[in-house]
Structure 1
Amino acid sequence: MNTAVAGFSKLTKEEKINWIAKEYFFNPEEGISTIKQYWNSDTKLQQLHDDFVENTISNFYLPMGIAPNFLINGKYYSVPMVIEESSVVAAAAKSAKYWSTRGGFKATVLNTEKIGQVHFMFFGEALKLEHFFNKIKPMLIASTESITANMQKRGGGITSLELRNKTSELDNYFQLHATFETKDSMGANFINSCLEQLAKTVKEEAYNYPDFNEVEKNITIVMSILSNYVPNCVVRAEVSCKVDELAENLPTSRQGRIENPSEFAEKLVQAVRIAEIEPFRAVTHNKGIMNGVDAVVLATGNDFRAVEAGVHAYASRNGTYASLSHANIDNGIFTFWMEIPLALGTVGGLTSLHPLVKIALEILEKPSAQELMQIVAVTGLAQNFAALRSLTTTGIQEGHMKMHINNILNQYQTTVDERKMIKNHFENNTISHSAVVTFIENLRK
């Protein structure tokens, strides 16, 4: 493509696809066929999907799997997970079953506070601004009542509002720092609407404030926006048992089997401590946690990008990026836990629109936002345990490649008979992409 396209958003869906095919596809007919192959035959449902984002041309599918046997606070859950990576769902399910016979997972919501800020520039004396803020603070809260009325009926709303002086970091920069309780809603639209009203009221009241000179009256609102960093919207997930109880009997498989529980516990604790002090390891360590977290967040129609940003900021809160999870052995008791920030919702947004999100929430028995926080955190911890267990026993690749082999077989369009021979061969041979491909090529000669 050598030129820009004008009015793309105004084209019909068919016109968009035809333009893309003409500009980019070596085989336009095949490209168009592939795009349309993923359209839903139910036109009403397809229109619903089309309306989720702009310039829609098709649907991009990801697998939705189930990890059963999660015992959380004495209740069993089957957890829906949406993810494209091999072995994640299997690993979560394996950890869930393992811990279900050792007391299960314990989860506690520590706090549910969410944050929003009005960022503005004030060209005057900070003390005068403080007096102004203290005087109009009740007016600021009152100005949002039409927005907060329904939320207040459910026990939510604005929980605090303060003026923050940030001029030591940026000249003339101040904030209105607000905290919110949004109950079962994630609350992004609610928070942003409140903030924009607060900004409007501040500007209007400043203009009419008699103690401000002409320069001080002209407060410059830079932006009003919620924060995805929610260090006070935190959930704790943990498992624990006697070290001896970590042992297991798996007569049909030795993969990842914990034969020496004391040695296993010590190695796992050391693996976690390495992730606590070594950022290069911590990033991969936490990525494994987010494999579980994101998969459930996505399945339940929540914003996994916001969760990712907030969680990784939390992992850096002490000045160095570090492990989110922790482990210790105390008086013969092994404990594995983590605390992570999760701003989630079970009402509003896609939760009431996407059919599969509704199904996911039904499978979870229509949890509250706090219950969903617990389920998501536990899934992340389970995923982390599974990864550490593999790393400290057989190594991560053995189990992963056994799952990944299906992707290779699909890529080479193997037949049922070929699949059987290939899988039989690699039961006792090391799996790698090149080894599988070579075997397929030799098989077909």
Structure 2
Amino acid sequence: MKSSRIPGFYNLSVEQRRDLLKKELDFSAEELSSLYIKEPLSTETADKMIENVIGTFQLPFGLGLNFLINGKDYVIPMVIEEASVVASASHIAKIVRSAGGFHTEATERVMIGQIQVVGCSDFHAAKQAILNEKEVLINAANAAYPSIVSRGGGAEDLDVRILNEDSDSSYGKMLVVHMYINTCDAMGANIINTMVESVAPIVEEITNGKVYLRILSNYADKCLARARCVIPPELLSTGDYSGEEVRDGVIHAYEFAASDPYRAVTHNKGIMNGIDPVVIATGNDWRAVEAGSHAYAARHGSYGSMTTWSKDQAGNLVGEIELPMSIGTVGGATRVHPLAELSLSLMSIESAKELAQVIVAVGLAQNLGALKALATDGIQKGHMALHSRSVAIAAGASGEMIDIIAEKLIEEKEIRVGKAKELVEEYTK
């Protein structure tokens, strides 16, 4: 991968950007062919992916630039409809790049399968019986999916919990087996579900209880990715604001989110503005990532910020993020959707562990972009400037008129469809 620093990329036409990908990033016309066809995901393929298909639905496919992560350059595919997200992430990545880039790490790829057991005559005895037969259950789970074992993964451990032990309701009291499964580079839903379903009869026999649910958990708190950046204040100065003022404003904004769930929800939505587009572009399950991330933000008993921002002894701004990342680089849509394959190629991703680290770095960048804007000129200035183009299109503008109408809307500080329609009628008379 050559440098992700591509000055002036946003000023190029779509065709020029594609040509630059071929020239600068060594992609062949064949490798980029899915960008040129009107229906990158064929209706025939879509019909095999889900039920009741009537067509496909497209979203803008852009590139996050300037990212330097663990010393490696990344051009990051982002699929999103919201204006300013790609620009904001790229802008912050450029700042962080000047400070040495993002530093990331990830735990092993261990996911969780759950088995629910009810109706035990003695739940504590049943729990101990499961633990006594741990090796038997792990071996049985691995026998159900030998291919993942051959790739170095598979069931590695298990634990048992008793829920609602003091409940008066027979429906509430239950024993839950957690099976910890290394899914390697797969997201692993099918692997996990197959394994826990296969051992369910053995669990019933051991506990003398009744198994109901046996399914993966999307709360993948054993499969974490982390990102960190350290930024000298002089790199943060903007307009009339000094770097120190921006730094302190970002930290105050973070503390607001850390203290108030009403703010934290919007704060974290901004983080997911960076995460979801990469998850979607690579054909992964963004609902699972969303659910796990929000649950992790509430792991201490109240919902708070997914990121932390602080000042170190040298006065630098320090940002950190840690989230569960139940994603994969093999299986599912990642190898079925042509643009998902292209997305992984654009980043030269070698493993799910690496992809998870890239995703959280983008989330951290997007969070800083939002907080920096909020702490200075406000979120609307940059967002609405980019949003003005969408408003112009919605009003009927096309071709060169889009930019003319958009600039006029910004100039008159009236970025709304009604005003844009008036301008379209005026310019087309």
What range describes the TM-score normalised by the shorter chain of this pair?
0.7 to 0.9
The verdict on how the C-alpha distance between 1:74 and 1:258 changes in structure 2, with shifts beyond 3 A counting, is farther
Alignment of 1:6-405 (within 5 A): 45-168=42-165, 170=167, 171=170, 172-203=173-204, 205-206=205-206, 217=208, 219-247=209-237, 257=239, 259-331=241-313, 332-405=315-388
The verdict on how the C-alpha distance between 1:301 and 1:416 changes in structure 2, with shifts beyond 3 A counting, is closer
**Which whole-Å deviations, capped at 9, do the CAs of 1:377-421 have from their partners, x for residues lacking one?**
011111111111111111111111111111111112224464354
Alignment of 1:395-434 (within 5 A): 395-416=378-399, 418-426=401-409, 428-433=411-416, 434=418
Distance 1:112 1:43 in 2: 31
Distance 1:348 1:132 in 2: 35
Q: Is the 8 A contact 2:123 2:175 kept in 1?
A: no
Structure 2 letter corresponding to 1:128: A
- Matched residue SS, 1:317: coil
Distance 1:304 1:348 in 2: 15
Give 1:30's aligned residue.
none
How far off its partner does 1:43 sit? Answer: 11
Structure 1 letter corresponding to 2:384: M
How far off its partner does 1:130 sit? Answer: 3.6
How far off its partner does 1:327 sit? Answer: 0.8
**Which whole-Å deviations, capped at 9, do the CAs of 1:243-296 have from their partners, x for residues lacking one?**
23433xxxxxxxx54740111111110010001001111100000000110100
Q: Is the 8 A contact 1:167 1:174 kept in 2?
A: no
The verdict on how the C-alpha distance between 1:428 and 1:276 changes in structure 2, with shifts beyond 3 A counting, is same
Structure 2 letter corresponding to 1:199: A
The verdict on how the C-alpha distance between 1:290 and 1:189 changes in structure 2, with shifts beyond 3 A counting, is same
- Matched residue SS, 2:177: strand
The verdict on how the C-alpha distance between 1:120 and 1:90 changes in structure 2, with shifts beyond 3 A counting, is same
Structure 2 letter corresponding to 1:101: S
How far off its partner does 1:437 sit? Answer: 4.2
**Which whole-Å deviations, capped at 9, do the CAs of 1:152-171 have from their partners, x for residues lacking one?**
22221112112322242654
Distance 1:96 1:257 in 2: 19
Consecutive unaligned residues of structure 1, counting only runs of 5 or more, are 1-39, 207-215, 248-255
- Matched residue SS, 1:51: helix
In the comparison of the two structures, how many residue pairs are matched? 387
- Matched residue SS, 2:92: helix
Q: Is the 8 A contact 1:246 1:258 kept in 2?
A: no
How far off its partner does 1:50 sit? Answer: 1.2
The verdict on how the C-alpha distance between 1:238 and 1:258 changes in structure 2, with shifts beyond 3 A counting, is farther
Q: Is the 8 A contact 1:67 1:80 kept in 2?
A: yes
Q: Which moved more, 1:236-245 or 1:223-232?
A: 236-245
Distance 1:420 1:42 in 2: 27
Structure 1 letter corresponding to 2:110: E
Consecutive unaligned residues of structure 2, counting only runs of 5 or more, are 1-36
**Which whole-Å deviations, capped at 9, do the CAs of 1:196-224 have from their partners, x for residues lacking one?**
01112223x34xxxxxxxxx74x211110
**Which whole-Å deviations, capped at 9, do the CAs of 1:133-169 have from their partners, x for residues lacking one?**
2443332222223334222222211121123222426
Q: Is the 8 A contact 1:122 1:174 kept in 2?
A: no
Q: TM-score scaled by structure 1?
A: 0.81
Q: Which moved more, 1:376-385 or 1:112-121?
A: 112-121
Distance 1:420 1:43 in 2: 28
Distance 1:436 1:44 in 2: 33
Q: Which moved more, 1:355-364 or 1:84-93?
A: 84-93
Q: Is the 8 A contact 2:65 2:75 kept in 1?
A: yes
Q: TM-score scaled by structure 2?
A: 0.84
How far off its partner does 1:443 sit? Answer: 4.7
Distance 1:258 1:112 in 2: 46
Structure 1 letter corresponding to 2:247: A
Q: Is the 8 A contact 2:396 2:424 kept in 1?
A: no
Instruction: Compute the RMSD of aligned alpha carbons.
Output: 2.2
Distance 2:370 2:41 in 1: 42
The verdict on how the C-alpha distance between 1:257 and 1:186 changes in structure 2, with shifts beyond 3 A counting, is farther
Distance 2:41 2:89 in 1: 35
Q: Is the 8 A contact 2:154 2:182 kept in 1?
A: yes
Q: Is the 8 A contact 2:395 2:420 kept in 1?
A: no
Distance 1:235 1:135 in 2: 33
The verdict on how the C-alpha distance between 1:423 and 1:140 changes in structure 2, with shifts beyond 3 A counting, is closer
